[in-house]
Structure 1
Amino acid sequence: MIHHDAVKELAPTGTLRGGIVISPAPSAFFCTKDANGAPHGVTVDLLGGFAAMLKVPLALQVYENSGQLTDAVASGTCDVAFMPQDAERMKKVDFGPPYYLIESTYLVPAGSAIQSIGEVNKPGVRIIAIANTTTMRSARRTAPNATVTEVPSVDDITALARNGGGDAFALSHDSFVGLLPKLPGARVLPGHFQQVGVAVAVPKGRPDALHLVGELLADAKASGLVRRALDAAGFKDAPAAP
């Protein structure tokens, strides 16, 4: 049962202002724009589903990264969004449940002798990770004996993996979907060294709104909306969060 007061707290303007992050390549979290500039992706579908359940119009707000998105929700200019949950962000926004768990592991290039995540944590192993990400911080923490070099983008990772510029490349499982076809013989190591929930978030001080988005997400999982959104974005092997 959806209460009118909770809807008013979640969407005070009468329109649901939902935030998304646009990236050059899709992931289970990042959205992309089509040739006409229209955004597509998992979170676009989820926010559309939320608005439909609430019977309110949806206004999408587009951001370049999850830091900008966090600040928009924290300031109350954005009513609801999804973002990777971490301790820093929990100081700024209130999180409900996750729709997806980002699991980070390593890609090893063709010909590598490394078979497991544990074998990466050795002197002389060169880990390459993307700067200023939770994955990079976790790689440093969980593989203190290896060396970690930070690079700006996935394109840099692809180039280094091709030309022998590293031994283990740290990314999330869903990021490897688009990467593996470009790297013949490369392997993704089983398991993960980090797990982070991509969770629904609302501004602080809106307890009814927080409860309501938790219910909406539970409905979206039960109805198959989360599963369909992941499939439509090309992530048929990515499990929805329980």
Structure 2
Amino acid sequence: MKPDSTTRASLAPHHRLRASINLGNPILAGTDPVTGRLRGVSIDLAMEMGRRLGVDVELIAFDTAGKSVQAVAEENADVGFFAIDPARGASIAFTAAYVLIEGFYLVRETSPIKTNADVDRPEHRVVVGQGSAYDLFLSRELKHAQIVRAPSSPAVVRTFLEQQLEVAAGVKQQLEQQAAGEPGLHLLPERFMVIQQAMGTPKSRGDEAALFLRQFVEEMKASGFVADALARHGINGASVAPPKE
């Protein structure tokens, strides 16, 4: 798969690939504690795409998914890595998913909430990371419970504890990590959603650019690149998405 000059110009009009990186999801990206450099599966994909295009890569990091999406939607970045959601699709052309992540609820051991079906009640407040995939999803799905928005996904459990809320919602691994030092908390037994992590580019870049991006993601899945990246970065609990039919 080799890009032609038109595709290269569409995806990297500034002669470099500006990649929007969401540091709010540790499954996708983080900062190396020793070097301070960005690392993760989305970083690896961005660098490989830059290599395919024959351009340098500029990594633009954000602390929330919402800011990362906004950068691409407003064309302050050329590509981004975030969950597929209809609310984001107005201005962004998505690929199929490359990684699947599970969304779970966290509650206290003493909570009367025992299953996902117990969550959506008027007396329950559910904290989510503002602008996250599960914020968008639960804002549509929950009809009775109140949504409380933490400033970022990493702040969800802290907000849950400080405000004495009934439920925290988020990426399974992130909730587990944040709650590890807090006794008396547990995840409900079943996921409430599967988060489809994909790549995206502004729709204004045209059909050829979107097609190249879709084909790139499919090749990265099929070749084992995504699986290798997940293993290399020690990511557990996320799976490579199946091929796009």
TM-score above 0.5, yes or no: yes
Identity %: 26
- Checking the alignment, whether the CA contact within 8 Å between 1:19 and 1:60 is kept in structure 2 is yes
SS at match of 1:127: strand
- Checking the alignment, whether the CA contact within 8 Å between 1:17 and 1:80 is kept in structure 2 is yes
Who is 2:89 aligned against?
Answer: 90
Q: Distance in 1 between matches of 2:98 and 2:72?
A: 18
1:116 aligns to 2:118 (yes or no)? no
Q: Distance in 2 between matches of 1:223 and 1:136?
A: 32
TM-score when normalising by structure 1: 0.80
Structure 1 stretch displaced more, 42-51 or 102-111:
102-111
Who is 2:212 aligned against?
Answer: 212
Q: Distance in 2 between matches of 1:69 and 1:166?
A: 27
Gaps of 5+ in 2: none
Q: CA deviation at 1:121?
A: 2.7
Using a 3 Å threshold, how does the CA distance of structure 1 residues 217 and 185 change in structure 2: closer, same or farther? Answer: same
Who is 2:23 aligned against?
Answer: 22
Who is 1:78 aligned against?
Answer: 77
Q: Distance in 2 between matches of 1:135 and 1:3?
A: 34
Who is 1:52 aligned against?
Answer: 51
Using a 3 Å threshold, how does the CA distance of structure 1 residues 130 and 200 change in structure 2: closer, same or farther? Answer: closer
Q: Distance in 2 between matches of 1:150 and 1:72?
A: 20
Structure 1 stretch displaced more, 191-200 or 218-227:
191-200
Q: CA deviation at 1:155?
A: 4.1
TM-score when normalising by structure 2: 0.80
Which residue identity is paired with 1:237?
A: G
Who is 1:7 aligned against?
Answer: 8
- Checking the alignment, whether the CA contact within 8 Å between 2:105 and 2:167 is kept in structure 1 is yes
Q: CA deviation at 1:187?
A: 2.1
- Checking the alignment, whether the CA contact within 8 Å between 1:130 and 1:152 is kept in structure 2 is yes
- Checking the alignment, whether the CA contact within 8 Å between 2:98 and 2:240 is kept in structure 1 is yes
- Checking the alignment, whether the CA contact within 8 Å between 1:82 and 1:200 is kept in structure 2 is yes
Using a 3 Å threshold, how does the CA distance of structure 1 residues 133 and 226 change in structure 2: closer, same or farther? Answer: same
The number of aligned residues is 239
Using a 3 Å threshold, how does the CA distance of structure 1 residues 164 and 111 change in structure 2: closer, same or farther? Answer: farther
Q: CA deviation at 1:98?
A: 1.8
Q: Distance in 2 between matches of 1:52 and 1:39?
A: 17
Q: Distance in 2 between matches of 1:164 and 1:59?
A: 38
Gaps of 5+ in 1: none
Q: CA deviation at 1:68?
A: 3.5
SS at match of 1:59: strand
Q: Residue deviations 1:131-189, cap 9 Å, x none?
A: 4544245445444344444444544624644x892332211223224124223343212
Using a 3 Å threshold, how does the CA distance of structure 1 residues 172 and 59 change in structure 2: closer, same or farther? Answer: same
Q: Once superposed, what is the RMSD of the aligned Cα atoms?
A: 2.9
Structure 1 stretch displaced more, 134-143 or 189-198:
134-143
Q: Distance in 1 between matches of 2:96 and 2:149?
A: 30
- Checking the alignment, whether the CA contact within 8 Å between 1:70 and 1:92 is kept in structure 2 is no
- Checking the alignment, whether the CA contact within 8 Å between 2:101 and 2:195 is kept in structure 1 is yes
SS at match of 2:191: coil
Q: Distance in 2 between matches of 1:128 and 1:15?
A: 38
